Amino acid sequence: MRESTLWFWHIIAGAVILVLLGLHMTVMHLDDIIGLYADTTAWETVIARSQQGFFMVTYILLLGAALYHGLYGFRSILFELSLGKGCQKAINWLFLIGGLLLFIYGAYVAIAVYSMKEVVL
């Protein structure tokens, strides 16, 4: 991909993070005002929230946006070191494979918790 396209998606990912973290801050830290949950950090509340489709999708979107934004930003910093083409190619592949593996694992966890029928402690 062209660098301008990657930069565009970096900005979009930052905007998505801004919106979703705003939602997170509202639900988790302003609960006295909105009153959705009695205790936002209680295990039962965390599981109940994670088993809602809206939060599962939100977690997966936030995960994807955060991974892309963070890895692309780190990649950009590394590329400013004037590395050789071979090293840049290796970094691209390392970040692509590592990012995909982290996304797959995180999405699996979000979907698994969403699909749980019974919580076993």
CATH class of the structural domain 3-115 = mainly alpha
pLDDT tens figures, 49-101:
888 889 899 999 999 999 999 999 999 999 999 889 999 999 999 999 999 99
Main-chain dihedrals φ then ψ at residue 83, nearest 5 degrees = -75, 160
Q: Is the per-residue pLDDT at 33 higher than 80?
A: no
User: What tokens does 61 get?
Assistant: 């979107």
Candidates 110, 121, 103, 92; CA nearest to 63 is 103
Q: How far is CA 91 from CA 3, 5, 18, 82, 85, in A?
A: 15, 18, 27, 13, 10
Task: Give the Cβ contact number of residue 56 at 10 Å.
Answer: 19
Q: What gap in Å lies between CA 116 and CA 58, rounded to an integer?
A: 18
Measured at the CA of 75, the angle between CA 22 and CA 56, to 5 degrees, comes to: 35
- Domain map (residue ranges) of the chain: 3-115
- What is the value of pTM for the model shown? 0.84
Q: What gap in Å lies between CA 21 and CA 59, rounded to an integer?
A: 10
| Contact indicator for 47, 113 with CB cutoff of 8 Å | yes
Amino acid at position 4, single letter:
S
